[in-house]
Amino acid sequence: MTQTAPSASRKFDVHALDGKLPAPEMRYDVVVVGGGPAGIAAARAAVAAGKTVLLVDENPVPGAAMGNDVPLFFGGRMTTATMQADRMVETVFTTEPALEAAMEDGVEVLLGTCAWGVYRNGPAFATLPENVVALADSARAWLVGYGELVLATGARDLAIGFPGWNQPGVMGAQALTMLLSRYEAFSGRRVLIVGSHDLALETALLARDKGVAVAGLVELRDAPQGSADLVEAVRAAQIPILTGEVVARVEGGIDGVERAVLRSGAVIEADTICLAIGLIPAIELVDAMGAPRVLDAARGGHVPGPDAGLRFAGLCAGLPDTGFDHVAYRMDWARELGAVSAGDTIVCQCEEVTRADLIGVQPPNYLPRPDALQARSLCSLLADGPANQDQIKRLTRAGMGQCQGRRCRDQVAMILALEAGKPFGSIPLASHRAPVRPIPLRILADWEEDEAMRAGWDVWFGIPTQWTPYRDIGTEREREHQIAIAEGWSL
């Protein structure tokens, strides 16, 4: 997108960013975010059409990010192999041979590189030289211009809390699949799977094939929910499916989970509890760039809406529509797990927000709680109008931690809907903002600002001149005058 020249009659703020942002380092006809099968196929098709193509994939994910359950809910069940960067790159290439084929076709491939933001000019922002995607690896952050953007970011696991789920050993099915199939770095030995739809059944069979003992599947409904073929395969493998049950609590020791206690009182020994209740299309970038999204219960919940400047590939676009109502299934789980959870059950692990804190709209325990706050509750807020998750997030800090809401954002929305007696989707999800990945400030720091950009910093950070209208900032005499006042000199 070419920036248009300003009209002669238009007045500009000399401290605005208009015309000051540098051009991106590189530009490609097509940028594909996500190096799974769908992303690789899109990249190879584009390069075959004669276009310049960049394919970025955040795998291998740094060990620190995996420890914070980003981008998937790893639950502390990674081996130390995930800390060996070279070994992880090798496993990614070994388990995804199409990456090498894409490179041979002419696709530029960047592994270990996350896309943490997408920026496009619009009504409230018109300073970019063109559309850009913001990238970062372990050493730096930079911008890349693009003509077309393809998001193939996949899907992530839905997490729903219950007593004890905030200890190591409770993880998601996508994360377990990644550790077993792509990283070969799963530390658990015996897993209990929550759910019985296709995701859960496929995960159980994969774990068995990889030599992991599967204690069983727990299903709250009266019958398995997945396809008949998968159910038969699981039963043929002599993996029990426990219907009409939920996990009432998990117990553990110094290394995390050791056993699960079901609602019936049955005790199942396992060092890992795998949540396979459902997948959420990974649309954080879609949210952060202000692109539309729609609710589609048959395709996994919130999915990207139509956008002229974007293409979607794979699970990012939505789950395959098999006629299954994913939203109703998840709400059943949220309701039943909520029924076995006391008020002190953690909802947001990062900020240690409990169910009682969330429903009472209280800050976490490490913050003061004056009497005026304790008189507040979700009921009192609902009396003033519909619940808004962004408002609840600011009041309780649920979703503000280092995992960026991946463990709690969707379950908070479900809890709010249940408490308000509203259908899921009637209460807006909390918004995502760039960066959609936790990036160290040392990487985000821009060391290449030109003089035109630095000239306006007094408006925002100048001390003591930050309280002086920028139109009055200019002469050295005025600056010296303000500094003298700040230092207590009489003038």
Q: Which burial class, exposed, middle or buried, applies to 487 when counting CB atoms under 10 A from its CB (0-12, 13-18, 19+)?
A: exposed
Structure-block tokens of residue 16:
């605005």
Q: Do residues 427 and 419 lie in contact, with contact meaning Cβ atoms separated by under 8 Å? A: no
Region of 372 (left: φ > 0; alpha: ψ -120 to 50; beta: rest) is alpha
> Positive or negative CA dihedral for 226, 298, 389, 397?
positive
Q: Which burial class, exposed, middle or buried, applies to 228 when counting CB atoms under 10 A from its CB (0-12, 13-18, 19+)?
A: exposed
* Residue where the block lists tokens 């018109």: 126
Phi, psi of 149 (to 5 degrees): -115, 130
Q: Do residues 28 and 109 lie in contact, with contact meaning Cβ atoms separated by under 8 Å? A: no
What pLDDT score does 250 carry?
97
What pLDDT score does 385 carry?
77
What is d(CA 335, CA 424) in angstroms, rounded to the nearest whole number? Answer: 12
Before 97, cis peptide (omega within 30)? no
Nearest to 398 by CA among 435, 353, 437: 353
Neighbouring-strand partners of residue 251:
259
Give pLDDT tens digits for 23-50. Answer: 888 999 999 999 999 999 999 999 999 9
Please report, in tens digits, the pLDDT of each residue of the chain (491 residues total): 444 444 444 455 666 766 777 788 899 999 999 999 999 999 999 999 999 999 999 999 988 899 999 999 999 999 999 988 889 999 999 899 999 999 999 999 999 999 999 998 877 667 788 899 999 998 899 999 999 999 999 999 999 999 999 999 999 999 999 999 999 999 999 999 999 999 999 999 999 999 999 999 999 999 999 999 999 999 999 999 999 999 999 999 999 999 999 999 999 999 999 999 999 999 999 998 888 999 999 999 999 999 878 999 999 999 999 999 999 999 999 999 999 999 999 999 999 999 999 999 998 888 888 887 777 888 888 877 778 888 899 989 999 998 989 999 999 999 999 998 989 988 888 888 889 998 888 887 766 677 777 766 666 555 555 555 555 555 555 555 555 555 555 44
What pLDDT score does 13 carry?
65
What pLDDT score does 474 carry?
54
CA neighbours closer than 13 Å in the CB half-sphere of residue 454: 6
Query: Which residue type sits at 55?
Result: L
What pLDDT score does 368 carry?
85
Nearest to 71 by CA among 116, 38, 118, 134: 116
What pLDDT score does 209 carry?
97
- The answer for residues whose C-beta is within 8 angstroms of residue 218's C-beta and 6 or more apart is 192, 193, 194, 195, 196, 242, 245, 246, 247, 260, 262
CA distances from 390 to 334, 387, 398 (A): 20, 9, 10
260-267 long-range Cβ contacts below 8 angstroms, 24+ apart: 260/192, 260/218, 262/218, 263/340, 266/242
How many CB atoms sit inside 10 A of residue 262's CB? 19
* Residue where the block lists tokens 């989707």: 425
What pLDDT score does 427 carry?
83
What pLDDT score does 128 carry?
83
What is d(CA 178, CA 279) in angstroms, rounded to the nearest whole number? Answer: 14
How many CB atoms sit inside 10 A of residue 17's CB? 14
What is d(CA 223, CA 404) in angstroms, rounded to the nearest whole number? Answer: 35
Give pLDDT tens digits for 426-445. Answer: 888 888 888 999 888 888 77
Helix 228-236 / helix 198-209 crossing angle, nearest 10 deg: 30
Dihedral over alpha carbons 333, 334, 339, 344 (to 10 degrees) = 130
What is d(CA 271, CA 179) in angstroms, rounded to the nearest whole number? Answer: 15
What is d(CA 273, CA 250) in angstroms, rounded to the nearest whole number? Answer: 8
